[in-house]
Structure 1
Amino acid sequence: MKKIIFTFVLVCTFLHSDPLQAQDVLQSKDLSSVNVDYLSDADLAKIEAQLDSNRLSIEQAEPLLLSKGMSSAEYAKLKSKLAERSTSSKSGTPNKSNSEPKKDSEKDVANSTEKENSEFWRKQVTIKNNKVKDSLNALVYGSELFDKPTLDFTPNLQLATPINYILGPGDELQVSVYGVQQYNEIIPVTVEGKIAVDYIGELAVAGMSIEAATQKIKSAIAKVYSTVASGQSKVSISLSTIRTIRVTIIGAKQPGNYSVSSLASVYNALHLAGGPAKNGSYRSIELLRNNKVFKIIDIYDFLVQGDQSANVGLKDNDVIRIPAYSSRVTVEGEVKRPGIFEMKKGENFVSLLSFASGFTESAYTASVNVLQKTDKEFKVKDVKVNEFDSYLPQSGDLFRVTKILNRFENRIKIEGAVFRPDTYSFVEGMRVSDLVSQADGLKDDAYTKRAIIVRLKSDLTTEIVNVDLEKALSGDLDANIMLKKEDVVTVYSVLDFVEAYEVTIDGEIKKPGVYDFYQGLTLNDILVQAGGLTGSASKRVEIARMIIAEQIDNTNLNKAELFNIEITPNDNEQAKNFVLSPFDVINIRKMAVYDKPEMVSVSGAVHYAGKYVLASKKAKVYDIVERAGGLTSLANLEGVKIKRPIKAKQIEEVESVNLNLGKKDSIQNKLEKKLKEDLKYAIIPIDWKSIIKDRSSSTNVTLFPGDEIEVATFNEGVKVTGNVLLTSEIPFNKGKGFGYYLNAVGGLDNKGWRKKAYIIYPNGKAAVTHSFLFVRSYPKVTPGSQIIVPEKPEVKKMSTAEYVSIGSVIASLALLIVTAFK
């Protein structure tokens, strides 16, 4: 409510009597005759400024406007128009009051954007420039400054207005009086360079600094507003909208006329134009003002030192001229910033090196190789380090900075039986004893009778120098040899001459393997190292020892000496602690009888299915089935079989067979794959009826650990699968043969191979079709069996040419026969 009363007093203080004047719509006492449709964009802008200056939104001002007679319909129109302007401003659509048409510019003029200050919104027409990567000048030092969109030197509109800013047509000033008397208005600078202040008149401000214009406007207002002169009211003057100026850029990648902010600088304009063109100079850019050279810009001052003193502000109709460069040189190799650099007259190699940020850590700095161009040909020059500050690079010079040599000027090395084997610095006069002392002396195992020095000779070949360490370290100057740089001294260890002895233990031990031999090693020691005896270890231990002799004894055919020892199997600490020798082989034998119980399983139609221990070494199928309670009444007597796991050893035997089919033959590979992945069991058919009649029947086989006895449940169906029209199970019909069941499933498909059809019986046995004298006999079908029709192999048909070839061969043979019998 206080804001409404305050706004009402404010409007009443600065009101006009004519409600139809656009700029006084909100200050009129009577708003009943206002037609919002007749308000221009400039009128709406002034209304927005008045609302902003009083910190009011259009919604907060509604009670005041309606109380002044504005109809609800006109208020709704005004609110809608202001909302449209706000949306337009945010989306980038230019307002007529704040933008002017731009001519001959090669850049897209963006829409006006608003930058918020602590007291107002400052506006500025911004310019967008689509940057194009400079591939021609990519190596030229300084070109990257103009290729990055994020580095554009755009003036910051949120900063305070510079006091030396010169006003001109297009600028807009926000003039505010606050205190006892209040006034707020955004006033443009006209083309004549004047501003029109209400109740005061026109004031000429063009060409004046913002500071001088502020004093002039304050003085004029103080003559009309008495409270300003007395200090009861204050005057604030600031830039609301900054004008755009036009500058011309010549010699840039994108030369032309540009509309830029009046706060823009030289670097900002150069960035918009893409920087110097292909042959443009980066160090002698001219800023022309009033047809005279106002400033010479050297961009290297900014790149090398960060100096922006040349980045001066622009004025309307300024010209930026980028001349062609006069001298460029190239730096390659071990510098921190290789590239192409522009040189001024009188600059030396040290200056060039500063542009390239100096040498890298691995650069060879004693001299730099320069490839120069003469009037007729090239020539090479070496610039020594003492010439760096006197050599003046010439246009076209190519400087190559190489790496330092991969060698040392004072390296010496010691290795072997010393406490600190390492690389050390060499000094003239250094001897063997000095280097050993520097390595903290010899180890206890050092071999002092001999050490060697590997030395690099002048012709880059190597030689070995022998050293008697014992004499060298005792002070003998002849033995204490003088060292040279790059010498490698090796001190041997006595342990290097000792053979590494071992013993081997195998058999019933927990960790069989090869173990290091030590003097005094005994059988008890090695038993403990190998984890101790297993529970199956017997009392017999055999130790084999190699025979050592200086001469060959042809009468002795033994290759090793054997020792048979009896031990206590349940004790690792034997009473007879046998002393071992190097390379002994110890074998702990297994007990004669030590077989853990092994099992088979029974499944299917038996009374007590499950796993059973093989109590006998020759347990038969019948014995285990009887232990399982025998067959049930639902069992199929012709459906008893054994599934025996295929062992890894059997697969290895198949893999070892050479079928002479080649390494990559598919038949061998398929067979191995089938055994490993598909066939995990071998099937043994059992004739149970034969076993019932005679227990000694050959089908009553002996079982192996892991065998699985399967007893099938009686099934009256016959399954037909393979290449038939319908895979199905047909009820068994006694007396019906093979063909009956094939016909019952619709017969064979177009790939079915009838003469190779076979049957698998419930016990796993299979039978195939036979042919004799064109008479085909099919196997007998029983309940629970399965008929399988395989697929015909693909046969390649002979072509016409092959038929003709065979015919020609037959004709030739016939002619030969006829000729022979004439």
Structure 2
Amino acid sequence: MKRILYILVVCMAMLASTTTNAQDILKGKDLSTVQVDYMSDADIQKIKSQLDANNMTIEQAEGIVIEKGMSPSEYAKLKQRLKDLDAKKGPTNPLEVKPKKEDNKKEFGREQEKIKNQKVKDSLNALVFGSELFDNPTLNFEPDLKLATPVHYVLGPGDELQVSVFGVQQYSETVPVSVEGKVSIQYVGELAVSGMTIEAATSKIKNAIARVYSTVGSGQSQVSVSLSRIRTIKVTLIGSKQPGNYSISSLATVYNALYLGGGPGKNGSYRTIELIRNNKVYKQIDIYRFLTKGDQSDNVGLKDNDVIRIPSYTTRVKMEGEVKRPGIFEMKEGETFADLLNFASGFTDLAYTASVNVLQKTGKEFKVQDVNQADYGRYQPQSGDVFRISKILNRFENRITIDGAVFRPDVYSFYEGMRLSDLVTQAEGLKEDAYRQRVRIIRLKPDLTTQIINTNLEKALGGDLAADVILQREDVVTVYSILDFREAYTVTIEGEVKNPGTYDYFDDLTLNDLVVQVGGLTGTASKRVEIARVIKSDSVDANNKNRIELVNLEIAADNNEQVKNFVLRPFDVINIRRIAVYEKPETVIVSGSVLYPGNYALATKKETVYSVIMRAGGLTTVGNPAGMKIKRPIKEEQIELIESVDLNLKENDSLPDKLSKKLKEELKFATIPVNWDKIVKNPDHYSNVILFPGDEIEVAEFNEGVKVSGNVLLTSEIPYRKGKGFKYYLSSVGGIDSKGWKKKAYIIYPNGKADVTGSFLFFKNYPKVAPGSQIVVPEKPETNKMSVGEWVSIGSVITSLALLIVTAFN
């Protein structure tokens, strides 16, 4: 009994401790006895309320509860219980959207409009140097709120401070700076911090907390003060593209405000921008210092109620032409053209830098002035000046050129007194093929016309000063090659050689040389060789009607090296003839019901079906004499002949293409019917055709069935009955269907021959049926039936014609 009472007392103590800890989790001193599993949802809700009252999350309180003795496992359970509680609770109003802190829509009871700056490309001032800095949406001068708080940051209403005490004593709270400029800290009271730097406010808060928390003064606890939220300040922009009052971060700088306002307006200055603070000019901003040097000394921080005034420019000039950054630039008093050139990033590589042309404006008209290079550092641009920088001239002051038969044809530097021999020596001398009797010099005269000078190159190089011409600037010397005067000679070989064609001619080229060059003779070469040769004569012989000279030779057809080696001449055409009789064996195929199917060589030029079938052993016992046919491949030239026929069709008619495609991809061969019984009785019968290489003789097995297909009710094979006609087999498959075209039905016999249904007057003549045949019923073509209106129209026309005829006879 005592043991039971002891257990009950311990459980009650644990529950009481758990309840107490649940109510004072942040203020309790010992959390080692906390058991999260025994806490109710109400206890968890109380802990959640404590955290919300101190503007803390469970993650931020982790260090505090662990230091007070809560085990990591119990902390994890508590964190999960809080998370589950939020999930169960859910939003009280699904349509309610909690405003983000960044929205700044309501602070300390005051409404504030969110400023949205839409960047629009400035087309009017696109050439003004610096304008791209403020209308480029990819640029952004907003302050980085993640950076450490500057020690000189001045506090004001709207800022929030995170005050934490850690060590022996624990405390953490987020305190806002009120409208009166004070912060309220629990157990400490209100402290005025507005107008103080963050560094001074931190010192003041630490001293105040030390008076309450004794461990802070002794150093056992530490105080941390940080800026958790930045206030919004108001600045005014005057003279910008979008002037007005702007609400911006208190960490913002001058460039941030200028960016929001779109930069200077149409006539705004980029170099004398004024920052006015307390009705006095606090700073004068020159954006060019940032653009040209990256100097941000003018980019100072802003304070509440600052005014940024952008006055109108005083002096603007324009740079055109060969500078790296052409455009419109603003100049200050005392600045020179050298400074302007620096703003434009200097001349381009092709700029003419000896002087600059300036278009100036006077009180009445324009005038032009040249600024020499020596005066760049003295000339002060005037408002409205237009500087035009031109390109250098496309000419050389000391160029001379040599090309042709020298080892190094190129462009060289010219000097006064330079002679032809000097230039040839500089070009590493003449090549072996150089033509030495003449050299050409093209010279540019003072009036820019050209003249030609010719001299003897061999004498010039031999020391003859009269021939060794003195050269001038821009001379072009050409040394000819003897190869330039030679005609490109060729010879042609055709006929029975490995690689016939046209080849280059060389002096002393022989027939043996050419035969070996083209790979030698083929096995079909004959001993006869015909050479066609050009006829050369200074006079016309009226009696000689020959256009060329023919030379006939006899060679050893099996030898590339002939005993009598014939010397060739330019443009000879050699033709090596083919031997009279030389044919490789060609075969046909015999398949089906023969004794020895396979490939058979055509023994004679007029090999027939009968002779080949007899060589194949004749038909087997199951061979069908009425089922023999020849399948002959369709040749490419036959398809090309069909394609070349003009069918006089429309341009978009695809019939020829469909026909060619069908021949190439579907048919591939033509069928020739063979009547074997007639051939056996009479070998001279017309169906005993002469075979071609590639033909296939196909002998079908005897089949007693008759196949019926097409537009019939049942595609089937009906046993052959002697004496039964065409209609019998159609009836045996149920007749034709609704789309069948009976009068166009046809039959295909086993040997490939076909026959169609004929008609005379009202009588139909159906083809005979043989064993192994196939009856096909095609589909009726679709026809458009005439409507009632069309019949009425035709009737009206006939009636009108009848009336005309009657009237004519009356």
Superposed pair shares fold, TM > 0.5: yes
Paired with 2:420 and 2:673, the residues of 1 have a C-alpha distance of 86
**2:549 corresponds to:** 560
Q: Which residue of 2 aligns with 1:362?
A: 350
The answer (yes or no) to whether the contact 2:108–2:178 under 8 Å persists in 1 is no
User: Following the alignment from structure 2 to structure 1, what is the Cα–Cα distance between the partners of residues 509 and 335?
Assistant: 83
What's 1:48 paired with?
56
Aligned to 2:619: 631
Shifted more, 711-720 versus 655-664: the winner is 655-664
Q: Cα distance, 1:707 vs. partner?
A: 0.8
Of 107, 123, 138, the match for 1:100: 107
* 1:105/1:258 contact within 8 Å kept: no
SS class of match (2:464): coil
For 1:86-485, list aligned pairs within 5 A: 93-94=100-101, 100=107, 105-107=112-114, 131=119, 137-148=125-136, 151-175=139-163, 186-196=174-184, 202-219=190-207, 235-365=223-353, 379=366, 381=368, 383-386=370-373, 388-389=376-377, 401-457=389-445, 461-485=449-473
Quick one: structure 1 residues 790 and 573, their matched pair in 2 at CA, closer, same or farther if it must change by over 3 Å?
Answer: farther
Displacement of 1:154 in angstroms is 3.0
Secondary structure at the aligned position of 1:208 is classed as coil
Query: How far is 1:305 from its partner?
Result: 1.1
Q: 3-state DSSP class of the match of 1:434? A: helix
CA 1:568–1:287: 2 relative to 1, 3 Å: same
Instruction: Give the deviation of 1:446 after TM superposition.
Output: 0.2
SS of corresponding position for 1:301: helix
CA distance in 2, matches of 1:460, 1:808: 91
Q: In structure 2, what is the Cα distance between the partners aligned to 1:688 and 1:626?
A: 12
8 Å Cα contact 2:521/2:557 also seen in 1: no
Q: Alpha carbons of 1:35 and 1:637: their partners in 2 closer, same or farther (altered >3 Å)?
A: closer
**Pairwise CA distance, 1:257:** 3.4
Letter in 2 for 1:513: G
The alpha-carbon deviation at position 94 of structure 1 amounts to: 3.0
- The one-letter code of the counterpart of 1:94 is K
Shift of residue 760, structure 1, vs aligned partner: 3.9
Give the C-alpha shift of residue 685 in structure 1: 1.8
Secondary structure in structure 2 of the residue aligned to 1:26: coil
Question: Does structure 1 conserve the Cα–Cα contact (< 8 Å) formed by 2:103 and 2:114?
Answer: no
In the alignment, the residues of structure 1 paired with residue 472 and residue 796 of structure 2 have an alpha-carbon distance, to the nearest angstrom, of 90
Amino acid at match of 2:54: K
Query: Quick one: which amino acid aligns to residue 555 of structure 2?
Result: E
**1:578 maps to what in 2?**
566
Q: By how many angstroms is 1:273 displaced?
A: 3.5
State the distance in 2 between where 1:626 and 1:556 align. Answer: 61
* Residues 54, 172 of structure 2: 8 Å contact kept: no
Aligned-partner residue type, residue 553 of structure 2 = N
Aligned to 2:26: 26
Deviates more, 1:135-144 or 1:695-704: 135-144
1:26 is matched by which residue type in structure 2?
L
- CA deviations 1:752-808 (Å, max 9, x no partner) are 776666544332334455555676545444341444647659799999999999999
Question: Following TM superposition, by how much is the alpha carbon of 1:492 offset from its aligned partner in structure 2, in angstroms?
Answer: 1.0
Q: Does structure 2 conserve the Cα–Cα contact (< 8 Å) formed by 1:645 and 1:680?
A: yes
The alpha-carbon deviation at position 344 of structure 1 amounts to 4.1
Secondary structure of the 2:26 match is helix
Within 2, Cα distance between the matches of 1:600 and 1:308? 96
Report the more deviating stretch, 418-427 or 335-344: 335-344
Q: Report if the CA contact (8 A) 1:329-1:393 is conserved.
A: yes
Unaligned 5+ segments in structure 2 are 1-19, 32-38
Q: CA deviation at 1:440?
A: 1.3
Closer/same/farther in 2, CA of residues 739 and 59 from structure 1, 3 Å limit:
farther
247-256 or 498-507: bigger deviation: 247-256
**Aligned residue identity for 1:141:** F
Moved more, 361-370 or 53-62: 53-62
- Rounded to whole Å, the distance in 2 between the matches of 1:175 and 1:325 is 49
> Could you say if the C-alpha distance between residues 257 and 203 of structure 1 is closer, same or farther in structure 2, counting changes exceeding 3 Å?
same
What's 1:115 paired with? none
Q: How many residues align?
A: 769
Match of 2:598 among 604, 610, 614: 610
- Closer/same/farther in 2, CA of residues 101 and 579 from structure 1, 3 Å limit: farther
Are the counterparts in 2 of residues 448 and 470 from structure 1 also a CA contact under 8 Å? yes
Map of 2:686 onto structure 1? 698
Cα distance in 2 for partners of 1:580, 1:663 equals: 54
Q: What letter matches 1:565 in structure 2?
A: E
Shift of residue 189, structure 1, vs aligned partner: 3.7
Greater shift after overlay, 782-791 or 56-65? 56-65
- Larger mean CA deviation between 394-403 and 629-638 belongs to 394-403
Q: Whole-Å Cα distance in 1 between the matches of residues 634 and 572 of structure 2?
A: 39
Are 1:507 and 2:507 counterparts?
no
* CA positional deviation for 1:445: 0.6
- How far apart are residue 416 of structure 1 and its match? 1.2
Report if the CA contact (8 A) 1:363-1:404 is conserved. Answer: yes
Alpha-carbon deviation of 1:612? 1.9
Q: Secondary structure at the match of 2:246?
A: strand
Alignment partners' CA distance in 1, 2:543 and 2:517: 38
Deviations 1:639-666 (A, max 9, x none): 2221222333444555566778899987
The 3-state SS of whatever aligns with 1:27 is coil
Kindly provide the amino acid, as one letter, of the partner of residue 26 in structure 2: L
Measure the CA separation in 2 of the matches of 1:36 and 1:80. 8
**Residue 288 (structure 1) shift:** 1.8
Change (3 A) 1:667 1:369: farther
CA deviation after TM superposition for structure 1 residue 310, in Å: 0.8
Cα offsets for 1:507-564 (capped at 9, x unmatched): 2222222222222333332222112232333444444444444444555555224131
Identity %: 59
Q: Does residue 1:597 correspond to 2:585, yes or no?
A: yes
Distance 2:805 2:363 in 1: 90
For the residues of structure 2 that align with 1:458 and 1:802, how far apart are their CA atoms?
93
Task: Give 1:710's match in structure 2, choosing from 692, 698, 701.
Answer: 698
Structure 1 residues 64, 353: closer, same or farther in 2, change over 3 A? closer
C-alpha change, 1:97 and 1:666, in structure 2 (3 Å) is: closer
Structure 1 position 530 matched with structure 2 position 528: no
Contact 1:253 1:275 in 2 (8 A): yes
* Residue matched to 1:13: none
Q: Secondary structure at the match of 1:48?
A: coil
For residues 726-737 of structure 1, the aligned pairs below 5 Å read 728-729=715-716, 731=718, 734-735=722-723, 737=725
Cα 1:161–1:805 change in 2 (3 A) is: same
Is contact 2:741–2:777 with CA below 8 Å preserved after alignment?
no
Residue 247 of structure 1 contacts residue 258 of structure 1 at CA under 8 Å; is this kept in 2?
A: yes
- Residue by residue over 1:176-227, the C-alpha shift from the partner in whole angstroms, topping out at 9 and shown as x without a partner, is 5566666655544444434455666554433233333444445556666676
Pairwise CA distance, 1:399: 5.2
User: In the TM superposition, what whole-angstrom CA distance separates every residue of 1:71-93 from its partner, at most 9, and x where no partner exists?
Assistant: x999956995799999x9x9983
Q: Is contact 1:51-1:58 (8 Å) kept?
A: no
| Range with greater deviation from structure 2 (612-621 or 758-767) | 758-767
TM-score, normalised to structure 1, is 0.78
State the distance in 1 between where 2:663 and 2:308 align. 87
Q: Which moved more, 1:577-586 or 1:503-512?
A: 577-586
User: Cα RMSD over matched residues?
Assistant: 4.9
**Contact 1:510 1:533 (C-alpha < 8 Å) held by counterparts:** yes
SS of 1:55's partner is helix
Counterpart of 1:562 in structure 2: which amino acid? V
Q: Which letter maps to 2:610?
A: Y
Cα distance in 2 for partners of 1:312, 1:681 equals 93
Give the unaligned 5+ runs of structure 1. Answer: 1-18, 109-127
